[in-house]
A and B are shown apart, each in its own frame.
Chain A
Amino acid sequence: MAKDKSVNRLISIGNIVIPLILAFIVGSIFSILSRCNPFTLYGYIIKRAFFSVGGILNTLGYATPIIMTGIATAFSIKAGIFNMGIEGQVFVGAFTSALAGYMIKGLPVFIHVPLCLLIGALSGALYALVPGLLKAKLRINEVVTTVMMNSIATQVTGFLTQSYLSTGDAYAHTEFILESARLSKFISKYRCTTAIFIALAIWLVIYFVLKKTKFGYEIECIGRQWEFSDSVGMRVSRKVIIIFVLGGLIAGVAGATEIMGVNYNFVSTFSANPGIGWDGFYACILSASNPVGILIYAIVFGALRYGALAAQTWLGVPLDLINVIKSTLVLFGAIKLCTVYSEQIKGFFFKKKAVKAEHQAQEV
C-alpha cells in the first residue's frame, strides 16, 4: 500500500513535469524560428523574473490577481461546476471599483479603499449570481452562460468607457481614481502592491474552507456526485448559487485590486490577452484545483508575463511566443499522460496490482 501511494505521487509529479518539458520543447521550436537561442530565452526569463528584488516584486505583482482568479475557479471546479465566467466577473469588479474610485470623493484612505474593494467584490458576485441562478433553478449549462456573459462584460464595459465615461483622450479610459482609493506599492516602480496580502489572505481562507470545514466537505461531495449530495440533504441547488457568488466575489476583488493598485483607471485592455481570469483558470486546470498548485502556477504565470515583456523589449522575442508556451503547457497538462498510462507505470514498478474494480464492473 505504501508503495502504491508513492507510485501515485510519482504519477502526479509526472503529470506536472512532463507537460512542462513538452511545452518548453514546443516553445524552443518557435524560439529558434524567431532567431533566438531557446536556452538564452528561458535563462533570461528566469533571471529577470526571480533574480532581483525588482524582478520578484514584478513577478508577484503579475501573480497577485492570478492567485485570486485561480482560487476562485478552483472553488467552483471542486464542486463540479465549470464556472468559466471569472474573466467577466473580473471586468465587472474592475469597472465598478474604478468608478467608485473617482466618483466618490472626500473619503479618507482607510474608508475609500475598503469601500472600492467591497463595491468591486459585490458587483462581481452579483454578476456571477445570474449564471448561478440559471444553473440552480433552470439547470442551464453554466459553460454556455458564463462564456457568453464574459463577452457581455468586456464589450459593455469597453463601450461605456468609450462613450459616456470617455475623458476625450485618444485612447479610451475612465478618469483616474483618487489618491485615497489607491493601494500602495512596496517600491513605486515595481508592480507588486499590498493587494498581494489580500490575495494570500483569500487563498488561506479558501484553502481552510476546502480542507477543513463542513462547506468544504459538501463541495467535495457535490463535485463528485451531486445526486448523492442531494439525497443526503445538502440542498445542492442552494449550494450551487453560493459557490457561484463566492467565486464572483473573489473575481471582483481581483479586478478591483488591478485597478486600485496598478492601473488607477479602467481601460478595456487592463486584463491583457489572455485575461487574468483565464490565467487563473489555466492555473486551476493544471494543478487539478489543488490550492498549493494554484499558488505555484500563479507565480509561474506571473513570471512568464513579466519575463515575456522583458524578453520582448530586450531580446526582441515576440510576446505571443510566451503565450504559445503557456497554451501548450495547459494543453499537455490537460492530457495527463501519466494518468492515461498509470497501469503501465505501476506495472513497471511492481508486478501488476489487482485490478478488482475491472472485474467487478464485469460482474455487474
Chain B
Amino acid sequence: MGSILIETRDITKKFGDFTANDKINIAVEEGEIRAIIGENGAGKSTLMNMLYGILKPTSGEILFNGKPVILDSPLDAIKLGIGMVHQHFKLSPSLSIYENIVLGDETVKTLNVFGKHFKGFLVDQKKEMAEIQALVDKFNFNLDITAKVRDISIGAKQRVEILKMLYRNVNLLILDEPTAVLIPSEVEDLIERMQDLKKAGKTIIIITHKLNEVKMCADNITVIRGGRVIGTVRNDESTTDSDLAEMMVGRPVLLRVNKSDKKPGDKVVYRVSNLSAKDSDGKKIINDISFDIHENEVIGIAGVEGNGQTDLMLALTGLLDISEGSVSFNGEDITGLWPDELRRHKIGIVPEDRYRQGLCLGMPVSANLIAGMHGRWPFCVHGIMQNAPIKENKERLVEAFDIRLGSDDPPVGSLSGGNAQKVIIAREFSKHPQLLLVSQPTRGVDIGAIEFIHNEILRMRDKGAAILIFSSELSEVVGLSDKVYVMYKGEFVGIFKSDDVSFNELGLYMSGVKRMSKEEIAANG
C-alpha cells in the first residue's frame, strides 16, 4: 500500500435541482482494489463519469497524485493515467483484437528523408502486434490477438476493453459493472486478472451491485446511497453480505428468496412442443424447443444473453412467427395466436424490454395499468373508455403493489426503474393469470424492489400459476425456479433441478462446453 492515488474532496454534481452526488469524499490508495457499491440511481456512475472526465463536477475537486486536476474529457483522464471500461463495450466487431486495441492510437512508421524523421501514414503492424502480445502475456490475458472481435466470447471482449486501457498506460482502471454480462467462470477469471493487475501495481475501482463478487475481490468497499457516501469498510470476515445490503438499502433486506415447500402439481398448464422459428434470412434462431410447465411450477431459462432467449420469448408471446412446432395452454392449441388473444386466455406477459414493449412512457400510469385490458369491461363499454374504473384500478394497484408515484398520475417515463417494473408486474399479475411469461423481471431494479418482485412471483406460484422466467441473473433463475433449462445458440442444452446445481456447472453448459443429449433433456423435463 502506498500513497493516495486519487481523491475527491466534497465533490458534488447537480442536474438542475437534483443532487446526484452530494459532497462525496473518497480516497483510493495506490495498488488497491476498491469496490463502490450502491443501488441503481445511487450515484455511482455519476461519480465515475466525473473521475473519467465525461461529466464535470458542480463543485468540489478531484486530486490525482495529490494534485488538483480538471478533467474536461476522457482524453484528459487517459493522459493522466485514468482509464474506464464501460458496461457496454465499445468495440468494432469486424476488426481484430489488436486493431481494436490500437484504434485511435496507432503506431506509425517514421519516414526517413535525408536524415530527417517525419511521421508517416503507414501503420507499423508488426511493432503494434509485438507490443500487445507482450501485454497479453504479462497479465495472462489469454487472447489470440489476431482473432476478429465478432468471433470472441463476451469475457474475451471485456479483456480487450481492459487491454485497450492498459495499452494507453493507465494506472487507475475503473470498471463499470464488469460482471453483469459474464458467466460464472468468466467472473472468476476476471477476478484473477484483477489480482494480477494489482500485483503489477495498478489501482482498480470496480462499480457493482453484486455483493458476493465484491467480497471475492475488493480490499475496501465504499457504499453509496442517495448520492452520499454511507461508509467505507475493509473487506474482511467481519463484513457480511447482509451488512452491506443494509447499508445500500437503508433497511434490512432478505438476500435469498424463500421458496415455499409446495410441490408442483400434476396438471400440465403449458406445453411447448418442438418449437422452431426463423429470422428474416431463414436462419433458425430457435431450434426444436420443448418443455412443460405444471401448476405451481416455475421453469427458469438460463443462458448467456443473445442465445435465443429473446426470440423464444417473442415467439411465445405472439410477436415472432413460429415456423414449426406447437404451443398449448390447458390442452387448447394456442400456436401462433395474436398477443391480444393470448391475453384473453389468462396469460400474463412481462416483456424483456420494459421501456419499449412493456410500458408506454409518455402515457400516465393509469393508462399503462389497463393496457392489454383496455378494451374490456369495466374499462371500456361499447368502445368508450370509462374514466372512473380506470382511476379506481390505478389507485387499487398502486396501493397493492406499493408503486411510488411523484404526483397523482404521472407519465410512466418519470418513474424509477423499480417502480416502472412494478407497474408492469401489477398490470399482469392482477388479472389472476394461470400462466405467466416473465422476461428479465428485475433488470435495472433496485434491491428493495427486487425482493418485492421475487416475492410476488413466488406468491403467484403458490396460488397455482405456471410461470416461465427468463433471466440473465443466474441467482435469480436458480432461486425462483423449480427446474432450470440452459439455452445455447437457440437450443436447450441442459436441464437441472434448481436445488442441486452449482453455478459453475451451469456456466459450463451456458458457454457451450458441455451439453446433454436431446433424450437426456426430454427424460428429465
Contact = CB atoms under 8 A, between A and B. Distances in A.
Interface of A: 1, 212-218, 220-221, 224-225, 227-235, 351-360, 362-364
Contact of B349 (A224, A225, A231, A358): A231
Contact of A230 (B16, B49, B339, B343): B339
B338 interface: yes
Interface in B270-288: none
A180 B49 CA distance: 75
B360 A357 contact: no
B17 A354 contact: yes
Contacts of A221: 360, 363, 367, 371
Contacts of A215: 383
A94 B306 CA distance: 54
Contact of B18 (A217, A218, A234, A356): A356
B145 interface: no
Contacts of A218: 374
B356 A351 contact: no
Contacts of A230: 319, 339, 357
B451 to A, nearest CB: 20
A1 B361 contact: no
B3 interface: no
24 contacts: A1-B407, A213-B383, A220-B363, A221-B367, A224-B360, A224-B363, A225-B361, A225-B362, A227-B356, A231-B351, A232-B339, A232-B372, A233-B372, A351-B17, A352-B16, A355-B18, A356-B18, A358-B16, A359-B18, A362-B46, A363-B40, A363-B41, A363-B43, A364-B444
B338 A217 contact: no
Contact of A228 (B16, B46, B358): B358
Contacts of B374: 214, 217-218
A233 B359 CA distance: 13
Nearest to A208: B384
B19 to A, nearest CB: 9
Interface in B362-393: 362-363, 367, 371-372, 374-375, 380, 383-385
B213 interface: no
Given A214-B384, A355-B15, A359-B20, 8 more contacts: A217-B374, A218-B374, A221-B371, A227-B356, A228-B360, A232-B340, A233-B339, A235-B340
A348 B353 CA distance: 38
Contact of B55 (A227, A354, A362): A362
Contacts of B504: none
B16 A353 contact: yes
A14 to B, nearest CB: 21
Given A215-B383, A235-B340, A362-B45, A228 B17 contact: no
Given A212-B385, A218-B374, A225-B360, A233 B343 contact: yes
A358 B41 CA distance: 12
B342 interface: yes
Given A362-B45, A363-B45, A233 B360 contact: no
A213 B413 contact: no
B92 interface: no
A169 B16 CA distance: 70
Given A218-B374, A235-B340, A364-B444, A224 B362 contact: yes
Contacts of B357: 227-228, 230-231
Contacts of B383: 213-215
B356 A357 contact: no
Contact of A229 (B360, B384, B385): B360
A4 to B, nearest CB: 9
A217 B362 CA distance: 13
Contact of B46 (A229, A351, A357, A363): A363
Nearest to B41: A363
Contacts of A213: 383-385
B16 A354 contact: yes
B52 to A, nearest CB: 13
Contact of A231 (B46, B339, B367): B339
Nearest to B356: A227
A364 B341 CA distance: 34
Interface in B201-240: none
Contacts of A353: 16-17
Nearest to B314: A231
Interface string B27-54: 0000000000000110101100100000
B416 interface: yes
A224 B383 CA distance: 21
Contacts of A227: 353, 356-357
Given A221-B360, A225-B356, A228-B356, A352 B317 contact: no
B153 interface: no
Contacts of B385: 212-214, 216-217
Contact of A212 (B359, B384, B444): B384
A216 B359 CA distance: 17
Interface string B401-437: 0000001000001101000000000000000000000
Instruction: List the 3 shortest-distance A-B pairs measured between CB atoms, nearest first.
Output: A233-B340, A355-B16, A233-B339
A125 B399 CA distance: 47
A214 B379 CA distance: 9
B280 to A, nearest CB: 11
A220 B17 CA distance: 32
B494 to A, nearest CB: 29
Contacts of A233: 318, 338-343, 372
Contacts of A225: 356, 360-362
A224 B16 contact: no
B320 to A, nearest CB: 11
A223 to B, nearest CB: 9
Contacts of B319: 230-231
B371 A228 contact: yes
Contacts of B384: 212-214
A215 B383 CA distance: 7
Given A212-B385, A355-B15, A358-B15, A235 B338 contact: yes
Contact of B416 (A229, A354, A360): A360
Contact of A214 (B40, B338, B375): B375
Contacts of B444: 364
B17 A352 contact: yes
Contacts of A228: 356-360, 371
A238 to B, nearest CB: 9
A362 B15 contact: yes
| Interface core residue of B340, B407, B444 (most chain A CB under 10 Å) | B340
Contacts of B18: 354-356, 358-359
Contacts of B361: 224-225
B381 to A, nearest CB: 10
Contacts of A220: 363
B431 to A, nearest CB: 12
Given A230-B319, A233-B372, A362 B49 contact: yes
